[in-house]
Amino acid sequence: MSKISEVVQRARAAFNSGRTRPLQFRIQQLEALRRMIKERERDIADALAADLHRNEWNSYNEELVYCLEEIEYMLKKLPEWVLDEPVEKTARTQQDECYIHSEPMGVVLIIGTWNYPFDLTIQPMVGAIAAGNAVILKPSELSENTASLLATIIPQYLDKDLYPVINGGVPETTEVLKERFDYILYTGSTGVGKIIMTAAAKHLTPVTLELGGKSPCYVDKDCDLDVACRRIAWGKYMNSGQTCVAPDYILCDPSIQNQVVEKLKKAVKEFYGEDAKKSRDYGRIISSRHFQRLMGLIEGQKVAYGGTGDAATRYIAPTILTDVDPQTPVMQEEIFGPIMPIVCMRSLEEAIQFINQREKPLALYVFSQNDKVIKKMIAETSSGGVTANDVIIHLSVHSLPFGGVGNSGMGCYHGKYSFMTFSHRRSCLVRSLQKEDPFKDRYPPSPAKMTHH
């Protein structure tokens, strides 16, 4: 038996022992996870710096804080969520108990990703632990420092059998996916999402797929462009553009394109100085392959700002492209880098049509002082989530589900939605053996004549 099979079987045996069932055990493990994040904050920041050139402040505010807040929220709400949930009864079940009982799915596989390699691996795990599952973590091999740190520190704080970490590249992931799981949550690309779903189908394993897509950002003429462009620049160039919900491209009227460019440039200089390469807040591209891919997307475009890169350090300057032709490669794939194409649209209707001709994105952004524009954009398009007059922020709200639709994924998590994702909601009806009278008419023999009530 392979090492990976052994790890999965050990987790299954530990789950079957029943030790994850009591609320107290789950709370204990969540508290241990919180302690791990607080005590090893320095080590985590060092790993993120090595993987993505991220400083300590950014590591905390872009990753760790989300995990800590999720844990706090779970600890507060979990005693209420684990209770059986009574439901409305029908006329014939008035004397019965009818309720939903949440039970753990079993052994869950969480496949993390490299762009926020701590948060996007640990935050889903919080919900899976809260729901009482065994969890096998497979961090992304591209963020290798964070991956090896997770494999080192998680067993020091959490139950070793229930929450193992498996590291490795494509061969290991392929091997893991041959095993039978009760649930899989994967964060990453649409292409790999299809591979995960195919593997899951062999065992009829349900999946949550957190994928990406080109998240559009519509900027209305009726808008405070200074504020809008500062917020857009923040979301676009954070982590060097490697964010699944980053605004991918801007749609705006040609009459404001130049202003948008100038105001984006102004914001970028405020954030990162004249040379972003020297800024401690500006990230680097994860790998040479991604660096080459991104530089290729800039080729042949009208560069209004940036456009340069340094292969040795995998640095790409914050870049703005104007009058972009929608047929060019930069508009055909998710950019996932610090390149902002601007595509001109003559009207809101044209922008809505443009968005709807493409795959459904993970996020959609609209900037306008006119509430009707915002409501029309929400009513007539589809995306995983929406933020109006800002970017990214919708996924910091515990009470909003985070997930995609269509090509940007399926299923969701965060807050109670995580608990529900990793639980089976079991329908229960409990009836007394007394009082047989009300049920007499259901038994054969049936009356010869049909009587309509």
* Element holding 352 (H helix, E strand): helix 348-356
pLDDT tens track for 335-390: 999 999 999 999 999 999 999 999 999 999 999 999 999 999 999 999 999 999 99
Residue with tokens 């090509």: 407
Q: How confident is the model at residue 449 (pLDDT cuts 50, 70, 90)?
A: confident
| C-alpha–C-alpha distance, residues 197 and 14, integer Å | 26
CB-based contact 70:172 (threshold 8 Å): no
What secondary structure does DSSP assign to 287-318, as a single string? -HHHHHHHHHHHTTS-EEE---EETTTTEE--
pTM of the predicted protein model:
0.96
Within 8 A by CB and 6+ apart from 310, the residues are 277
pLDDT tens per residue, range 390-426: 999 999 999 999 999 999 999 999 999 999 999 999 9
Catalytic residue (one of 70, 179, 210, 334): 210
Q: For residue 242, what pLDDT is reported? A: 97
Could you write out the DSSP letters of every residue in 140-190? -SSSHHHHHHHHHHHHHHS-TTTS-B---SHHHHHHHTTS--SEEEEES-H
Run of H or E including 341:
strand 339-344
434-438 contacts, C-beta under 8 A, 24 or more apart = 435/95, 438/92, 438/95
Span 97-120, average pLDDT? 98
pLDDT in tens, 41-51: 999 999 999 99
The DSSP bridge partners found for residue 385 are 363
pLDDT of residue 435: 86
- The CA-atom distances, in angstroms, between 172 and each of 141, 154, 177, 183 are 10, 19, 9, 18
Asked if 234 and 272 count as a contact pair (C-beta separation under 8 A), the reply is no
DSSP codes joined into one string, 64-129: IHHHHHHHHHHHHHHHHHTS-EE----GGGTTSEEEEEEEE-SEEEEE--SSSTTHHHHHHHHHHH
Catalytic annotation on 210? yes
Pick the catalytic residue: 98, 217, 244, 412?
244
Share of the chain above pLDDT 90, in %: 96
| Per-residue DSSP letter, 407 | G
Query: Residues 305-328: pLDDT tens digits?
Result: 999 999 999 999 999 999 999 999
SS3 (DSSP) at 322: coil
Residue 368, helix vs strand vs coil: coil
Amino acid at position 121, single letter: T
- pLDDT greater than 80 at residue 241: yes
Candidates 339, 298, 292, 337; CA nearest to 312 is 292
- Give the pLDDT of residue 120: 98
CA 149 to chain centre: 21
Q: Is the pLDDT of residue 1 over 80?
A: no
- Largest Cα–Cα distance in the chain? 90
Q: Does pLDDT of 452 surpass 80? A: no
State how far the Cα of 36 lies from the Cα of 133, in Å rounded to an integer.
Answer: 19
Bridge partners, residue 98, by sequence: 429
Rg (CA), the chain: 25
**Number of residues that make up the chain:** 453
**253: which 2 tokens?**
């009227």
The mean of the pLDDT values for the chain is 97
- Please determine, for residue 268, whether its predicted confidence score (pLDDT) is greater than 80: yes
Share of the chain above pLDDT 70, in %: 100
* Bigger pLDDT: 449 vs 426: 426
Contact criterion met (CB below 8 Å) for 246 and 214 = no
Report the pLDDT value the prediction gives residue 256, as an integer from 0 to 100. 98
Q: How sure is the predictor about 167, in pLDDT bands with cuts at 50, 70 and 90?
A: very high
Can 69 be counted among the known catalytic residues?
A: no
